[in-house]
Structure 1
């Protein structure tokens, strides 16, 4: 469903997420770091010096983050394999370009999934055209990328994703209450039948979703940080991303879409 260009390949990147992005001391990060400043754990070869023990060292946020392949696109395509260390004059610009391309790749991820859904066939032609246009934008030069109105493009894509959602969720064969942007933090939803639910942008932080059925549920933008999805059925959920899966708490019984991987920390988690 998704090609490898939409998955992070850290070996082909210049540690861009470890430099370009800021983070603050919190439960997710052990220290403060300003945008554009390399993380102290970033090695000279652009690899993380504590990758195997990030959670234990207080960098849970790093194990959750997903760039949708934007890192290697910026490193190898936009800047032709020339790193910010090799050419320091490009650093500030490169760090500004990275989040733009990351947003474009996220849109590509959603459109690619929409094209894989037979129920969304009525909008496939429009989706293909917009996907091709978006992919072409990711190959533009730095100045064109920085001048791009990503919000305008996102609105255009969202029209087709909303239609996709309606078509896919209708296939669940049951009418669900609209829970778009709903505050479901800590909600007790163990074993809930959420097939076909509209959970776009819902706050599911710390929610108990053990054994819940989220088949064909729209999860685009849903906040799953700390959500307990052990045994939950997510294999046919709509617009679920690796970022969301990484943020949740699952186990071997949790079913996932084929395009997503089971996080290492799920295996280490205790009941």
Structure 2
């Protein structure tokens, strides 16, 4: 794919980041976070050297939400490329712009993650080309300065990317169902399947884009060609499930789910 952000660059490198995930975003006290934290305020567990002092004990200290977060490599891009390695601690006046840029780049990098997969799995060359163009547009944005980045129309770009992802998904799923088998119509985009036992359902080639699968039981299920774009997999049972050929799976989704050593993850998650 002729773009400048290979997939390995879309993974967080905390050693080259100014703890932007611990500062830029806010969170409310809940099952995932033990306290309230306003956006733009450093977490109380952040050291002067930008390290989490309870990193090894996050779940037991009530910060499970931190363990399932992934910046898709945005942290190091903002810290080192856009702000030339000068932290918000060293230059307090940059904090607001840096935190805003981080939110935008994180969003763009998640799009890039999916576009790489869409390009690789597209059955229509035109869709593959559209993925290339969208990825190139994102790379151009992140290669510029913070001011241009924050002025960009990211919402329009997101809609274009979503269109590519949906079209590629349709092609992959249609090819999988080429034998004439009809998908289960109750398993649809945005479906509320929280807590449902899906172990007897045919999940191959279904469109679960944006579905709520909180605590759903998918143990041992084959999810080949299943579209999981934006699906909520918190506490979903994935023991023994096969996600090697599922569509648009992310590390945060898998981290939020419950799995075991028999869960088969997409190869791209490990490459």
- TM-score, length-scaled by structure 1: 0.93
CA deviations over 1:153-196 (Å, ceiling 9, x no partner): 11111111111001111232233125100111111112532000
Q: Quick one: which of 218, 226, 235 aligns to 2:244?
A: 235
Kept in 2, the 8 Å contact 1:114–1:120? The answer is no
How far apart in 2 are the matches of 1:103 and 1:120?
Answer: 26
Equivalent residue, structure 1, for 2:143: 139
2:182 aligned residue: 175
Residue of structure 1 in register with 2:80 after alignment: 76
1:60-84 Cα shifts (integer Å, max 9, x gaps): 0000111111111100111111110
Q: 2:106 aligned with 1:102, yes or no?
A: yes
How many residues get paired?
A: 261
Structure 1 residues 127-206: aligned runs within 5 Å: 127-173=131-177, 174-176=181-183, 177=185, 179-206=188-215
Closer/same/farther in 2, CA of residues 28 and 120 from structure 1, 3 Å limit: farther
TM-score (structure 2 length as normaliser): 0.93
Structure 1, unaligned runs of 5 or more:
262-271
* Rounded Cα–Cα distance in structure 1 between residues aligned with 2:218 and 2:126: 32
- C-alpha distance in structure 2 between counterparts of 1:156 and 1:233, whole Å: 30
Is the Cα–Cα contact under 8 Å of residues 7 and 69 in structure 1 kept in the other structure?
A: yes
Distance in structure 2 (CA, Å) of the matches to 1:49 and 1:120: 49
Work out whether residues 213 and 234 of structure 1, in 8 Å CA contact, stay in contact via their aligned partners in 2.
yes
Task: Answer yes or no: is 1:259 the counterpart of 2:262.
Answer: no
Residue segments in structure 2 that go unaligned for 5+ positions in a row: none
Confirm or deny: 8 A CA contact 2:7 2:113 kept in the other structure: no
In the other structure, the counterpart of 1:265 is none
Distance 2:8 2:159 in 1: 25
Is 1:26–2:35 an aligned residue pair? no
Shift of the alpha carbon at 1:137?
A: 0.6
CA contact (8 A) 1:230 1:253 kept: yes
- Aligned-partner Cα distance in 2 for 1:83–1:239: 33
Which aligned segments of 4 or more residues in structure 1 are displaced greater than 6 angstroms?
A: none
Cα offsets for 1:84-118 (capped at 9, x unmatched): 01111101111111111111101111101111115
Root-mean-square deviation (CA, aligned residues, Å) is 1.4
| CA distance in structure 1 between the partners assigned to 2:75 and 2:9 by the alignment | 10
